[in-house]
Structure 1
Amino acid sequence: MKIIFKDYKAGELKVQAENKDDLWALSQIIEAGDIVIGRTTRKVKMGSSDAKESVVKKTVTLSIAVEKTEYTADMLRVSGIVKEGPEDVPSGSHHTIEVEEQTIVKIVKPKWLKYQVDRIEDATKEKASVIICILDRGEAGFALLKPYGYEWLSEFEGEVSKKGLDEKKESRFYDEASDLLADYMKRHNAEKVIIASPAFWKDELLSVLKKKHMDIAKKAVLATCNHTGREGLNEVLKRPEVKTALSEQRAAKEVQLVDELMKEIGKEGNAAYGLKDVKDAASAGAVATLLVTDKLIQKAKNDNNFTEIDSIMRMVDHSKGEVVIVSSGHEGGKELEGLGGIGALLRYKVKY
């Protein structure tokens, strides 16, 4: 995301969405009550009562008071009431501004909360792409880690040499896996790769990479997992050996925070979950880190029931706690959804 102008104290921010990840970030920032200003297409009636009217599409700049937002993978739709615009666009009428890649919008808020500023600033940072390869004997899967989860790229099965049978025959499986990995690394301009497997399969692949693609082998981090496929991916994101490699990756941080929450709940430690208990903890100023899924936020907005969640987020922000909006696109978000979509790591235990 590119920041064109910012004055958070005055409540103003002007940005350009550069990719789909930016659209997702903006969907978590823009909320009812904000003013959004941007260029949009509007149908306008031309002519007068004395002549035949015609309807044409015009590109205009409108200022709208936001009522709701709707996010899809390719677009963020911001709907509301027109506050300012050309004379032929009635003030008070409804309109939707469609925010796509390369769209420039100005956002005006009564007050920017810290987590909102952090989310915007985080979106402006260049982040190295990370490819994750999870393999077992004769089977490999590849994923691209993204801020809001991951994109499963592909999986394939290959022929490997079996013990006692054709032991001199070189297996093509690791050759194919290494070539495919090299292709993904180049295609996504990735700076890091995590290779994970049960047993020693990861070492076998790394050995082939060193022979065929030494530049990629130098970027590799090895990890152990008990499962393969998508289930193994969630496991890998929690592994301590990949923590440093994934330190800049938001999805990995979210998975690790949810994992920490689950551990605290398991030992009846400093944690709370569910709307009521989290609200009580936030009211007491006890929340160190608040975790809320984007799915819960979007549902509350759609149901016109966002006030309570917004109040909790503001209380945590006011008490210098961290607010983390967790994507439902990865397993960590799905685990949190199972707890009602909201949970908190506490500074101290709270009696309910």
Structure 2
Amino acid sequence: MIVTDLDTKHGTCSITPESTEDLWALRRLIKKGDVVVTRSSRVVKREEEFARPDKGERVKVTIALSVEEVRLDRSLERIRVKGTILEASEESVTKVGSHAITISPGHPITLRKEKWTPFDTGLVTPSGERTTRFVIVAADRREAGVGSLSGSHLKLVATVESGLGGKQSEEQSARPYLSKVADLVAQTTVEGDSVIVAGPGNFKNSIANAIRERLKPASLTVLEGFDLTGSDGVRALVKAPSFQSVAKGSVVVRMQEIVSEVVKRISSLDPKVAFSVARVSQAAEAGAVEALVVSDDVFASGADEDQVVGILNEVEGAGGEVYLADSSMEFGKQVSSFGGIVALLRYAVRPY
């Protein structure tokens, strides 16, 4: 999340979400009565001599919207904000009319609040640091899969086929393939990303060298003892012990630790665990939640959006950890199987 001009005295903050996690943070931050200022499109009708009376023109305008409702669009990874127009840069836009805007990663907004609470400022400045992002390459001399991992969200970028024959291993023959992989990694990487290269045999070292020459990344690590390549390799690497050792302390590793401990406590009948929206809600109300993981498909089971948002806010307000899991990842699927939300508890909470 890119945050600039946070001015709690005047109640304004400029925000650009960069990920699904950031959208969830905005969903929890933007409330009824707030004002969102952003660029949007709206149909306006021109009062011109030869214009058709029923025809409007869609124009880009800057709109200040008094918020009435905020909702997550789970399938398209965006949030939808509905409200009343207070200000508009286009004179022909009806003031005090209703409008809806969608906010997705990369869409900048300015948020105005009557009062910014410490909890609100914590949502936009959780640590003052950027979430660690990894660019993952799972490759040998036949194929290379490239993906990016931000938080727990894994995006498969592409798979590059080498076209090399079974006996071709000369550097000259492999050069076009190495260049393609290095170019793809360069296109995927942003400043500060850590690049991880893994795969069977020694050819991964040639790929790593090509990436270094093309990109000079802030960090590049070659992992041994991993035999999968392509898109399957990218998916599998995230849960490999070698990756978890390198990425220790990252969000994705912490989530896997929490989910693993949840499963362990459930298996051993340890009462200091909760799963399902109803049980986790009770634990959150009691201030008992130490760490919580919610799946991005928690609403597939019919969970109420406002209730889930309330749980997350309550847990963080009591000093607990809150994480959003990608339901396509293995540990995300585990969370989904437990009702879409799981929690480690500081102490047992009796169900009621």
TM-score over 0.5 for the alignment? yes
Partner Cα distance (2:52, 2:70) in 1: 36
Partner SS, residue 280 of structure 2? helix
Count of residue pairs brought into register by the alignment: 332
* Aligned residue number for residue 40 of structure 1: 40
* Aligned residue number for residue 70 of structure 2: 68
Partner Cα distance (1:309, 1:160) in 2: 53
After TM superposition, which residue ranges in structure 1, 4 or more long, deviate above 6 angstroms? 72-75, 171-177
Alignment of 1:173-322 (within 5 A): 178-189=178-189, 191-197=193-199, 201=200, 203-209=201-207, 219-222=220-223, 224-225=225-226, 230=231, 232-243=233-244, 245-246=246-247, 250-269=251-270, 270-296=272-298, 305-322=304-321
Partner Cα distance (2:132, 2:319) in 1: 29
Alignment of 1:44-55 (within 5 A): 44-45=44-45, 55=56
TM-score scaled by length of structure 2? 0.72
1:120 aligns with 2:124: yes
* Aligned residue number for residue 153 of structure 1: 157
Partner SS, residue 6 of structure 2? strand
Amino acid at match of 1:346: L
Partner SS, residue 320 of structure 1? coil
* Aligned residue number for residue 142 of structure 1: 146
Contact 1:194–1:221 (CA<8 Å) still a contact in 2? yes
Q: Please tell me the root mean square deviation across aligned C-alpha atoms, in Å.
A: 4.3
1:25 aligns with 2:22: yes
Which among 86, 98, 101 is matched to residue 94 of structure 1? 98
How big is each residue's C-alpha offset from its partner over 1:110-164, in whole Å with a ceiling of 9 and x where there is no partner? 66574x6455336974566532122478554221223461221233376575xxx
Q: Kindly, what percent of the aligned residue pairs are identical?
A: 20
Contact 2:37–2:62 (CA<8 Å) still a contact in 1? no
Distance change (3 Å), C-alpha of 1:278 and 1:90: same
Partner Cα distance (2:335, 2:63) in 1: 40
1:333 aligns with 2:332: yes
Distance change (3 Å), C-alpha of 1:103 and 1:147: same
CA drift of 1:82 comes to 0.4
TM-score scaled by length of structure 1? 0.72
* Aligned residue number for residue 106 of structure 1: 111
Partner Cα distance (2:67, 2:136) in 1: 42
Amino acid at match of 1:132: I
How big is each residue's C-alpha offset from its partner over 1:155-214, in whole Å with a ceiling of 9 and x where there is no partner? 3376575xxxx6xx63679767644442233223465332334xxx1x513443577666
How big is each residue's C-alpha offset from its partner over 1:19-58, in whole Å with a ceiling of 9 and x where there is no partner? 7x3576135423552522334333345559xx99675556
Distance change (3 Å), C-alpha of 1:44 and 1:134: closer
Distance change (3 Å), C-alpha of 1:256 and 1:223: farther
* Aligned residue number for residue 2 of structure 1: 2
Unaligned runs of 5+ in 1: none
CA drift of 1:288 comes to 0.6
Partner Cα distance (2:3, 2:211) in 1: 38
